[in-house]
Amino acid sequence: MISHAHLDHSGNLLSLSKGKPVIAGSEMTREVTADLLRDMVRIKQMNGRKSPYTTRDVANIEACWWTRSSIALPGMSVNMHPAGHVAGANMISIEAEGRKILYTGDFCLHDTEILDGSRPKTLSRDYDVLIAESTYGGTVRPRRTELVNQFLGQILATIERKGNVLIPAFAFHRTQEIAKTVDRAMEDGRLPDYNVYMISNLAHKITRHFNRYKHYFNEEITDQRQPFNYRHVRWLRRTEQIKEPAIVICTSGFGHAGASFHLLTEWGQDENNSVVISSGYLPPDSPLKVAKEKGELVNGTEIIPMKAEIEHIELSGHADQNELVQLVKALNPKKTFLVHGEPEQAKALSEKISEMTEVYIPNRSEAYVI
């Protein structure tokens, strides 16, 4: 059962691909997961690394995928519930042998620009076991509207000094969400007209699913004919086609490679430009993290000083501590297992909810009988 297409939840599917597994998940998750896995296989082959998997294995995964939101198996029923977080993300509830379990996957209760948050009222109550993410278990985050204002404010300040804005983003969901936010702000007049580009073949491919399966999104999006055909944002294949000054949304999300690494090198040296990081998590060695913390970029043997303004505005679609507590209150589970969080985040959440439910923070591969 796959909650959503992010590779930390779906990447391991390739190891099941040689058999005939039954995979359950939403249609959007199937389409995007297949695109991401094909891209992963292709990059490995391009880098000359040996991979035991081919695109044929990805096709097998697609063929074994059930997309119904309700599945009845002998002695067991499985139900999917919209989780917010990213397009197609689901919470998964399982009833079997007289037990009720809910796995949240990654989720959020608050609405974002293109997606409604998860609605706990539509779930049943009194679960025997809740398996919940705890990414922001110890953190109370600013309101979403505040973050979006900050994001648009940073873009506007850069436009006013005729600078370039680089926005490294993941090909799935964040790219489309940011493009739609900028597009809408230009329609509303919150931002003036400016060159806006997206550079990522993978994001381009994934955007087609966003237009096709628009019922996953909020009402405003569903009401539009082709909601992700933007009015102000143009697709480019290469950075050479950019007409400066410009706002560019591009991969890779951590700045390791592709257009984002190239533009970080080129634009990072000018103080009129800015780089907006939207990802919550940054790997310690990623160029964006090093640029933000040390003010430099390492390119082979060369160290380039970063003069551009680097702003980190976390637009991530995860529940924060308040939302996690709200979910536990609404569902009233007997036992709660906290996963998908750094130990200190999980511990902080555990302290908040320990009077409502028995809390466990399992180690990797640890087994529990429920």
Q: Site for Zn ion (CB under 5 A): how many residues?
A: 2
d(CA 60, CA 64): 6
Rank residues 105 and 168 by Cβ distance to Zn ion and give the closer one. 105
Q: Which is nearer to Zn ion, 106 or 113 (CB)?
A: 106
E strand spans, 75-181 = 76-82, 90-96, 99-103, 129-133, 165-168
Smallest distance from Zn ion to CB 8, Å: 7
CB atoms within 10 A of CB 298: 13
Would you count residue 133 as binding Zn ion (CB under 5 A)? no
Looking at the Cβ atoms of 11 and 21, the one nearer to Zn ion is 11
Q: Position of tokens 């609404």? A: 330
Which one, 7 or 156, has the nearer CB to Zn ion?
7
Q: Which of 2, 5, 6, 32 binds Zn ion (CB under 5 A)?
A: 6
Residue of the chain from 35, 39, 95, 106 that contacts Zn ion (CB under 5 A): 106
Closer residue to Zn ion, CB minimum distance, 89 or 101: 89
Contact 151, 315 (CB under 8 A): yes
**Minimum CB separation from Zn ion for residue 6, in Å?**
4
**What number of other Cβ atoms are within 10 A of residue 144's Cβ?**
16
Q: Which stretch binds Zn ion (CB under 5 A): 4-12, 26-34, 261-269, 357-365?
A: 4-12
**Closest distance of CB 104 from Zn ion, Å:** 11
Task: Report in angstroms how near the CB of residue 176 gets to Zn ion at its nearest.
Answer: 15
Strand order in the sheet with 358-360: 70-73, 76-82, 90-96, 99-103, 129-133, 335-339, 358-360
Instruction: Tell me the one-letter amino acid at 288.
Output: L
| Cross-strand partners of 235 | 198
Query: Can you give the binding site for Zn ion, defined by CB under 5 A?
Result: 6, 106
